[in-house]
Amino acid sequence: MDKINDSKRHAIIVAGGSGKRFGSELPKQFLHLDGKPVLMRTIEKLEQAGVTSIVVVLPAEHHEMWLSMCQECNFPVSHTIATGGNSRFESVKNGLAAIENLHDNDLVAVHDGVRPLASVELINRCFDTAMKRGSAIPVIAPSDSIRQLDDDGTSRQLLRSSLRAVQTPQTFSARWLKGAYDVEESPLFTDDASVVEKAGHQVTLVEGESTNIKITHPIDLVVATQLIKDGKAC
């Protein structure tokens, strides 16, 4: 894909967590990380990377809570709020529809609301690669051995060197992403890369970051806080 100099950077932040797995009544994207809600840190990082428009996809019941938080914190970063669907696929589709003045030669990053530590360097790497190749999927090599559990209860070893753990922001040509999401949802869609692949496009992998953790369990919040204090997440 040829590099396009006038393309704009957009981001869809999917923030539909309920907090159940985290064991918290407050959704994990609203929990404080070193004095600031996780979701605010995520938005700020994308703005620092030069994203021109940000859409935050939230469940309808969380809109008022989020707006109150932004007001209390005097949060300055402009963003649009879209309503999440019954699945990640529906939420991303709603987020796409909420982007104003989206052109085919623009770029769109889809990012987890609870990945607040993605560096500006990683975000730029994803946008730069997507500009050239049409897509960019950040990945890291797994550090643990991996086994596949079969339906009969048996398991088998998988070759760790050939596997990669997938992160976000997954970044795409707007034309590719719009076309890929103009279909009915499939159970085979596990992330945005799988949706784009189904549309016939080859995805490009880029080096992710071990510090780009997803806040899923309480220990993740502890680790993220320490990474910030140690200056290892910037």
Alpha-carbon dihedral angle through residues 112, 113, 115, 116, given to the nearest 10 degrees: 150
Lowest-pLDDT range of 10-14, 18-22, 79-83, 128-132: 18-22
The 10s digit of each residue's pLDDT in 172-222 is 999 999 999 999 999 999 999 999 999 999 999 999 999 999 999 999 999
Nearest residue to 113 via CA among 219, 226, 214: 214
Q: Which tokens is 212 given?
A: 């780009």
Query: Does pLDDT of 22 surpass 90?
Result: no
* pLDDT band at 24; cut points 50, 70, 90: low
Give, for 39, the enclosing helix (H) or strand (E). Answer: helix 38-48
pLDDT of residue 232: 78
Q: What is the pLDDT of residue 79?
A: 98
What is the rounded distance in angstroms from the CA atom of residue 168 to the CA atom of residue 119? 11
Confidence of residue 164 (pLDDT cuts 50, 70, 90): very high
| pLDDT, tens digit (0-9, with 9 covering 90-100), for 65-121 | 999 999 999 999 999 999 999 999 999 999 999 999 999 999 999 999 999 999 999
Looking at residue 223, the DSSP 8-state letter turns out to be H
CB-CB contact of 89 with 105 (8 Å): no
The single-letter code of the amino acid at 36 is K
How much of the chain exceeds pLDDT 70, in percent? 94
How many whole angstroms from its chain centre is CA 112? 3
Which amino acid is it at 79?
H
DSSP 192: H
Quickly list DSSP for 39-97. HHHHHHHHHHTT-SEEEEEE-GGGHHHHHHHHHHTT-----EEEE--SSHHHHHHHHHH
Identify the CA nearest to 168 among candidates 110, 96, 91, 114: 110
Residue 190 backbone phi and psi in degrees, to 5: -100, -20
Total-model pTM: 0.93
Confidence of residue 234 (pLDDT cuts 50, 70, 90): low
* Cα 222–chain centre separation: 20
CB atoms within 10 A of CB 222: 10
| Predicted local confidence at residue 17, as pLDDT | 58
Computed over every residue of the chain, the mean pLDDT equals 93
Residue 19 has pLDDT above 60, yes or no: no
pLDDT band at 5 (very low <50, low <70, confident <90, very high): low
| Contacting residues for 71 by C-beta, under 8 A, at least 6 apart | none
